[in-house]
Amino acid sequence: MTQHLLAHPHTLIPLTYFSEEYGSAKSSISEDLSIIKEAFESQGIGDLRTVAGAAGGVKYIPRTTHEHAAAFMETLIMELAKPERLLPGGYLYMSDILGDPKTLNHIGKLLASAFRQSDVDVVMTVEAKGIPLAYATASFLNVPVVVVRRNNMVTEGSVVSINYVSGSSKRIQTMSLARRALPEESRVLIVDDFMKAGGTIQGMMDLLQEFKATVVGCGVFVETADDADRLIEDYISLAKLQEVDVKEKQIMIELGSYFSNKEE
Amino acid sequence: MTQHLLAHPHTLIPLTYFSEEYGSAKSSISEDLSIIKEAFESQGIGDLRTVAGAAGGVKYIPRTTHEHAAAFMETLIMELAKPERLLPGGYLYMSDILGDPKTLNHIGKLLASAFRQSDVDVVMTVEAKGIPLAYATASFLNVPVVVVRRNNMVTEGSVVSINYVSGSSKRIQTMSLARRALPEESRVLIVDDFMKAGGTIQGMMDLLQEFKATVVGCGVFVETADDADRLIEDYISLAKLQEVDVKEKQIMIELGSYFSNKEE
């Protein structure tokens, strides 16, 4: 039962499913569920929500406690702050971290946890580095992923394109999304690995207007702190690059805005 | 225990881990493991391998039976053969299928299953559409993913680039990989979503020579059958696009080379 719940997040599972699958009475299924519920909560795995009535059942909502999230991110920040990660232009080398499926899943769970009540229909990102993180997040929200292309790929059918100004490089760029990739009036969560001025995310928001979509939130892994020119305001970051001293090879990085919200 | 095994594929877990975690004697742990082993095998989840001795333990190897794999792919092929998927140039629209985390995980498990004995160190793909599939495959093999870039991204440090000729478009293109992204002499599994003539995969193979890597295999989701110009020979495909009749809007697609090998 635990395994089935973990494999089907954000999915309402009728109690009859379990009672038929395991040949047990609904009452003993309910008892087992309350044990699982406690274990999930105490171990910081997530919530188990029960919905009463004929159309009722149980739903597993992945959720990470602030305590677990902070412990995980603090370890990751120590790894990110290693001087050899410093790249020209004030960027950080993160491909190894975002290339490890286990770490990636953990980060995805944090983002899915932050937006668990946002009624997300689809996770959107722009190619290429944000793609794995978008999938990791989407799998915990049980929704599909839509990838915005940086050019017009012939293999996508009719597309909607917009030009946008990248906030950090101030250059005009193009991004496109296939018309059929996103149903109109979807509720979209934007996910990306790195945000400088936010031009790319602003571009995605503009593109989404063409699809009459609602942006329910933005989640980024690392943001930079030069927010004087910040184009967007409403987002969650897991880590914040405070200062990069290219000369001294020092990286100052701290917990992101995810952790300023004490509500959980 | 089941959950821990499923979450840690291709990882040797000492029996002492379970006996400490659950406060049980090793003998009863062994008994439980043989029950799980039988369940995994009968349900087509995978193998459970026990390694004897002081450094021993148990390892879960994800494996899909031919029967399960064929049933899954036949359903998917019916979906892929829908005429509205047809795009100019004989391409198929697959973004919705590859955008669904559950389907993607299933496909990834098939590929991981095919290369379970190849001692893979790392899964490699080229941006952008193959990335999600590469991650899905890698998570079942418990290895990291390395993504080859189609241009020189400033954020990667020093890179190795090669020019290659795309087999289908006959144009010269560039692909690059950061020097630090891949340790030398790695054993690499190449994964991609679509293969026409194979120029992109051949390009990755050439690039890998620069890293003194060994290519242990190639797995693609869909290949096209115009193999007169096929540049590479040794690969596994899950589905094969036999014929696309753009005029009649007909798509002929069948099971790929994955299923010609009856060995399992």
Which residues in chain A have Cβ-Cβ distances shorter than 8 Å to B104?
Answer: 135
Residue A172: which H helix or E strand, with range? strand A172-178
Chain B residue with CA closest to A103: the answer is B144
Residue in A3, A95, A127 nearest the CB of B128: A127
Assembly ipTM: 0.74
Residues in chain A: 264
* CA-based nearest residue in chain B for residue A137: B101
Q: Which residues of B touch A125 (CB under 8 A)?
A: none
Contact A139 B6 (CB under 8 A): no
What's the Cα-to-Cα distance from B88 to each of A131, A160, A243, B156, B253, rounded to whole Å? 25, 17, 48, 34, 17
Site from B95, B120, B224 to mutate, A interface, most A CB atoms within 10 angstroms: B95
For A138, phi then psi, to 5°, come to -65, -35
Cβ B116 vs Cβ B61: under 8 Å:
yes
Q: How far apart are CA A253 and CA A75, in angstroms?
A: 12
- pLDDT confidence of residue A208: 95
* Closest residue to A181, CB basis, from B95, B132, B156: B95
Instruction: Give A45→chain B minimum CA distance, Å.
Output: 13
**In which band, very low, low, confident or very high, does the pLDDT at A168 lie, cut at 50, 70 and 90?**
low
Minimal-distance CA residue of chain A relative to B136 = A101
Per DSSP, the residues of A103-123 read HHHHHHHHHHHHTTTS--SEE
0.90 cut: is pTM over it? no
CA distance A79 to A93: 11
Domain boundaries for CATH 1.10.10.10 within chain B: 1-62
Evaluate if residue B264 carries a pLDDT over 50.
no
**Inter-residue contact A235 to A217 (CB < 8 Å):** yes
Residue in chain B lying closest to A97 (CA): B144
Indicate the range of A148-152, A239-243, B4-8 predicted with least confidence.
Answer: A148-152
Do residue A155 and residue B89 have CB atoms under 8 angstroms apart?
yes
B173-186 pLDDT tens trace: 889 998 889 999 99
CA A144/CA A17 separation, integer angstroms: 24
Nearest CA in chain A to B145: A99
Residues of B in contact with A105 (CB under 8 A): 139
Q: Could you say which of B92, B131, B155 has the minimum Cβ distance to residue A131?
A: B131
B99/A127 CB distance under 8 A: no
Q: Which of B193, B201, B190 is nearest to B231 (CA)?
A: B201
Which chain B residues are within 8 Å of A145, Cβ to Cβ?
A: 99, 101, 132
pLDDT bin (cut points 50, 70, 90) of residue A154 is: low
Query: What pLDDT, on the 0 to 100 scale, is given for residue B114?
Result: 94
Q: Where in chain A is the domain with CATH 3.40.50.2020?
A: 66-259
> What pLDDT, in 10s, does the model give residues B80-103?
999 888 887 777 889 899 999 889
pLDDT band with cut points at 50, 70 and 90 for residue B214: very high
- pLDDT for B29-57, tens place per residue? 889 899 999 988 888 889 999 888 877 89
Q: Which CATH class is domain B66-259?
A: alpha beta
DSSP A83: G
3 state SS of B257: helix
Q: Does the distance separating the beta carbons of A139 and B96 come in below 8 Å?
A: no
Which of A89, A95, A139 is the closest to B101 by Cβ?
Answer: A139
Contact A155 B100 (CB under 8 A): no
Tokens standing for residue B102: 């559950």
Using one digit for the tens of pLDDT, what is the confidence trace for A108-143? 999 999 999 999 999 999 987 899 999 999 999 999
The secondary element (H helix, E strand) that includes residue B223 is strand B214-224
For residue A263, pLDDT over 60 is answered with no
- Roughly how many angstroms between the first and final C-alpha of chain A, as a whole number? 27
Non-local (6+) Cβ contacts of B36 within 8 A are B1, B2, B5, B48
pLDDT digit string, tens, across residues B117-141 = 999 999 999 987 899 999 999 999 9
At A191, the amino acid letter reads V
For the record, the structure tokens of A19 come out as 């009672």
Q: Between A188 and B159, where is the model more confident?
A: A188
- For testing contact with chain B, the best of A1, A97, A106, A131 (most B CBs within 10 A): A131
CB contact under 8 A, A156 and B93: yes
Percentages helix, strand, coil for chain A (3-state, rounded to 5) are 40, 30, 35
Q: Which residue numbers of A have CB closer than 8 Å to B's CBs? A: 2-3, 6, 87-89, 91-93, 95-96, 99-101, 104-105, 127-129, 131-132, 135-136, 138-139, 142, 144-147, 149, 154-157, 178, 180-181, 194
CB-closest option in A95, A131, A156 to B178 = A95
Domain A1-62 coded CATH 1.10.10.10: yes
Nearest to B89 among A105, A145, A154 (CB): A154
CA distance A256 to chain B (A): 21
Residues of B within an 8 Å Cβ radius of A: 2-3, 6, 87-89, 91-93, 95-96, 99-102, 104-105, 127-129, 131-132, 135-136, 138-139, 142, 144-147, 149, 154-157, 178, 180-181, 194
Q: State how far the Cα of B166 lies from the Cα of A152, in Å rounded to an integer.
A: 18
